Amino acid sequence: MANFTPTGLRFENIDKRYGGLFALRRLSLEVAPGECVAIAGRNGSGKTTLLRVAARLVRPTAGTVSFTSGPAAGNVSERPGYVGHAAMVYDELTAEENLLLFAKLQDIPSPRKRAEELLREVGLLERRDSLVRTFSRGMRQRMAIARALLRRPSVLLFDEPGTGLDPVGITWLAKALREVHLAGCTVLMSLHGESEISTLATRGIRLEAGSIVADTIEGHAMRGILTLGA
């Protein structure tokens, strides 16, 4: 994969309210370029909201999110690659049609070639002409990851990326993440507990009720962060 231009992320005093519930509460976080951050926390602690705010899909009630350094610095329209809970691809289109669609929308040069390249990388090339509707959970997850990687983003956001993947899939994902991380990509991934994927993390933070309660940068142990009450 090509080298990424290292880009960092800054969250400043992020609040996200849904009625009476604070999904995120006065959250500030500085992610250095090239870091691979594991975000742990119970269900409902705000991990998904944090990632969606970073992806600019969710507008915070207060506070700002910005890119630091790199060509995307200060560029509000720059979008990270995002893999959420849902597959984010169309059931009624084939694997290739899906990637082609998103490649074209993002003005990627030679979209057909790039789509094919990614299908090969995620191991779905033989199923390129199958409708995504026919795919298993694991295959959908691979499609989701392929879609996120299309533009070679310098920031990648993963929401529980291992869900739905069998052990072979997890090993493949860990390998893919390692490559991307080595190339300089900044990664934020929410995780439940320890796994092959969590070993890639250079930093860990724990969320509880929308706030950061532990951070390896402050000396907390990674293991504790990942496994506490999970």
Partner 1 sequence: MSLLVNTATLVEKELRTEFRSRELLTTTVVFNLVVLILFSFAINPSVEESREFGPGLLWLAILFSASLMLQPCFLREQTNDTLSALRLAVSDPYAIFLAKLMANTLFLLLTEALMLPLFAAFYNVPVLPQLHYLLLVLFLGSLGVSVVGTALSAISAVARLRELLLPLLLLPVLTPVLVVSATVSVSLLDRQPVVQWKGIAFLAIFDLIFLTALWLFGEYLLEE
Partner 2 sequence: MLKRIVFAAVAVGLVVAGAYAAFFIAPTERTMGNLQRIFYFHAATAWAALDAFFVCFVANLLYVWKRKRGFDAAGVASAEVGLACTTVVLITGPIWAKPAWGIWWTWDARLTSTFVLWLLYISYLLLRSLIDDPDRRALLSALFGIFAYLDVPLVFFSIRWWRTQHPAPVIMGGPGSGLDPTMSKVFFFNVLAMHALALFLIAERYRLERMEEEVEVLQWEAEAQ
61 binds, among partner 2, partner 1, none (CB under 5 to 8 A by kind): partner 2
Q: Which of 2, 19, 109, 129 is the binder for partner 2 (CB under 8 A)?
A: 19
CB of 115 to partner 1, least distance (A): 13
Binding segment for partner 2 among 15-23, 129-137, 178-186, 220-228 (CB under 8 A)?
A: 15-23
| Residue 74 interacting with partner 2 (CB under 8 A) | no
**DSSP string computed for the chain:** -PPPPP-EEEEEEEEEEETTEEEEEEEEEEE-TT-EEEEEE-TTSSHHHHHHHHTTSS--SEEEEEEESSTTTT-TT---EEE-SS--S-TTSBHHHHHHHHHHHTT-SSHHHHHHHHHHHTT-GGGTTSBGGG--HHHHHHHHHHHHHTT--SEEEEESTTTT--HHHHHHHHHHHHHHHHTT-EEEEEESS--TTGGG-SEEEEEETTEEEEEGGGT--HHHHHHTT-
CB of 62 to partner 2, least distance (A): 10
219 binds, among partner 2, partner 1, none (CB under 5 to 8 A by kind): none
If the CB atoms of residues 103 and 201 are measured against partner 1, the closer one turns out to be: 103
CB of 20 to partner 2, least distance (A): 3
* Residues binding partner 1 (CB under 8 A): 52, 55-59, 77, 79, 82, 84-93, 97, 101-102, 104-107, 147
Q: What is the dihedral of CA 105, 110, 112, 118, to 10 degrees?
A: -90
| Residue 178 interacting with partner 2 (CB under 8 A) | no
| Residue 21 interacting with partner 2 (CB under 8 A) | yes
CB of 13 to partner 2, least distance (A): 16
Residues of this chain that bind partner 2 (CB under 8 A): 17-21, 61
